[in-house]
A and B are shown apart, each in its own frame.
Chain A
């Protein structure tokens, strides 16, 4: 699995846009990039997945540059309820291992 590196923590105020960048320098050709969100005392929840360029859903956007060696999760206009740990995962479309890194703790304050 491609190793990922993301910031340990990020602070933000309500209403701001939060961008979390994940580095995955050794991403393979067939690898996808997936982000999960985990609230305290809950299991992780799928946010978004992409392969290249940009993907957007009702929760977030995922920006992937042409070289795919990094990706940025963008959370628009965060609220207090967006306080959570965000995990970046990179892997292939196979029934292999799904491993989570340390994640990024995002804290949103009023």
Chain B
């Protein structure tokens, strides 16, 4: 069984469109995250939820909106996509809200290409 899964794995879309990426974890963890990895391979945290509560909200455009319907799911919706949004987006989860002390489990990533 996949611990952290993301859908879709690949997403190709045009500028201006709206798209969503879904993430699910079956580890029973309380905290989930979204990361963005750009073409230079830098991995940056975007958001974090703990039991459906937003606890980390980095400086990202308002076009990005996370939603956590329950603690096992964290979705990322992106409005009005831009070329610069092209990247690989990773979902992750950890047992507690202590982002550093606890091991984080990452999903396989969603490669978003905006044309």
Contacts and interface: CB of A to CB of B under 8 A. Distances in A.
Given A43-B109, A95-B55, A32 B41 contact: no
A97 B58 contact: yes
B98 A93 contact: yes
Contacts of A85: 41
A46 interface: yes
Interface stretch (A62-70, A71-79, A98-106): A98-106
Nearest to B104: A46
Given A43-B109, A92-B100, A102-B40, 6 more contacts: A32-B101, A41-B108, A42-B109, A44-B43, A94-B99, A98-B104
Interface in A29-81: 32, 34, 41-46, 49
A6 B60 CA distance: 27
B90 A98 contact: no
A89 interface: yes
Given A44-B43, A100-B42, A103-B41, A95 B106 contact: no
Enumerate the 7 nearest inter-chain pairs by beta-carbon distance, A residue then B residue, closest first.
A43-B106, A91-B100, A100-B43, A93-B101, A46-B103, A95-B97, A98-B99
Interface in B88-104: 90, 92, 97-101, 103-104
B45 A43 contact: no
13 contacts: A34-B100, A41-B108, A42-B109, A43-B109, A46-B103, A46-B105, A94-B98, A97-B99, A98-B104, A99-B43, A100-B43, A102-B40, A102-B41
A96 B100 contact: yes
Contacts of A43: 4, 90, 92, 106-109
A34 B44 CA distance: 16
Contacts of B100: 32, 34, 89, 91-94, 96, 98
B50 interface: yes
Contacts of A102: 40-42
B12 interface: no
Interface in B31-62: 31, 33, 40-45, 48, 50, 55-56, 58
